[in-house]
Amino acid sequence: MPDLRYKEEETKPSVDTTKKTKEMPYGYTKVKLDSLGKLYAPKELHFRNFTVEELTDLAAANDSKDALKVFVRCLNNMVHENFDCKFLTEKDLEEVLMTLNIRWGKVFKNVPYLYAEKEEDLEEANTLLKENLEIQGKAFKEIKNLDSKENVGYADLPMTNLKTKELAGDVGPIFNMTTTEGESVKLKIACVGDFIEVQDYIENIYFEKERKFSDFKLQYAKYKQIEEEIRLANRERTEELINMLPKLDFTILEEYEDFLKQKESDFFKVIEASLIVSYGKKKCETLKEKVTANKKIGSHFWEKYSKIMRNNFEYGILPEVTFFSVDLGKTIERRFSFRYLDFIQKVESATDTDIEVSFSR
């Protein structure tokens, strides 16, 4: 087991957490991060509200490859400390956005969840659904198996229902591991800036290859959107949507999907490589140097790294959420996977006074 404690001799990125002004301006929200100052960000930061211009930029960038860059740029304008938000981890970023949304009483609208998670729960779920849907004046359809559409419900989840967990243990952002060949590798915890750098690196590599699919991409995006609508639609709507599907050249489709798979595969390989600080005695300064070093490292090494992340760096928003299911007529717990993009559509202008948000444990 590697020593995960931060050591003073390690090269930890220098971050500035001094205040931009001596006095805290009106309207800033205190965000307490569950990384507890053990990684790159301090224990707490203060953010003002989004401006109309920032909201417009975020809305335009949502789901695009530039979304993360826009997030960081906006948050750097909003944070009271002289802190570069590219040093937030993805979990830190999610907590910042969640806290700002909680301040304004936001909810996740129409989040899908399973009525029954196990086969043995089907009978009870059907009984409860029949009873509660009739009360609501809705039609009841029996759930015959876990994968059926009838097993999917939709709920509004108040963000106050989300719970978080603090980063436990004496850990730091940089630590050493050893390969099966006995070579020492110094690694770091990924931060938002790493994802942005890797994204730019991959986009540059694939720019020319992707250009030839420029026209096809629009058709493909529309096809995938309608395909998803079909998956969720009722029988009557399904036929209508099928007629709306654009006709794709399946030779190009196969080529384009192979291209996307290769691009995605390379992205994750470079993400792995970006975490390398040094290999052996050689310090890796550039992504190109890190990619070269990563070619000497086997997949087993990264499996071990992932296991360390799961076991020792679990913090931030928990996937388990407790909420009241109107359709089942009772409070239930389900697992959800939230990412920073899920929060952007909830961000709106607000004029609340200062408020400190803390999460119930």
Q: ∠ CA 272-275-279 to the nearest 5 degrees?
A: 100
Q: How far apart are CA 112 and CA 86, in angstroms?
A: 31
- Please give the Cα distance from 258 to 290 (Å, whole number): 26
Tokens of 214: 């420029």
Q: Determine what percent of the chain is predicted with pLDDT higher than 90.
A: 58
pLDDT value of position 234: 66
Confidence of residue 359 (pLDDT cuts 50, 70, 90): very low
Instruction: Tell me the pTM.
Output: 0.81
Average pLDDT over residues 224-249: 80
Mean pLDDT score, 299-308: 94
**Mean pLDDT (the chain, rounded):** 86
**Strand 164-165 and strand 184-188: pairing?**
unpaired
| 192 within 8 A of 345, measured Cβ to Cβ | no
Dihedral of alpha carbons 328, 331, 332, 334, sign: positive
Q: Work out the widest C-alpha separation in the chain, in whole angstroms.
A: 70
What's the CA gap between 323 and 162, in Å, rounded?
10
Cβ-count burial 295-304 (b if 16+ within 10 Å, e if not): eebeeebbeb
The dihedral over CA atoms of 190, 191, 194, 196, expressed in degrees to the nearest 10, equals 140
Return the closest-CA partner of residue 150 out of 138, 165, 135, 136. 138
SS3 state at 257: helix
Token readout for 44 is 């707490």
On the question of pLDDT at 343 being above 80, the answer is no
**Non-local CB neighbours of 81 within 8 Å, separated by 6+ positions:** 16, 17, 18, 19, 20, 42, 45, 46
Return the percentage of the chain with pLDDT > 70, whole number.
Answer: 86
How far is 232 from 226, CA to CA, in rounded Å?
10
Across 102-111, 238-247, 345-354, least confident range: 345-354
Per the model's pLDDT, the better-predicted residue between 217 and 357 turns out to be 217
d(CA 87, CA 72): 9
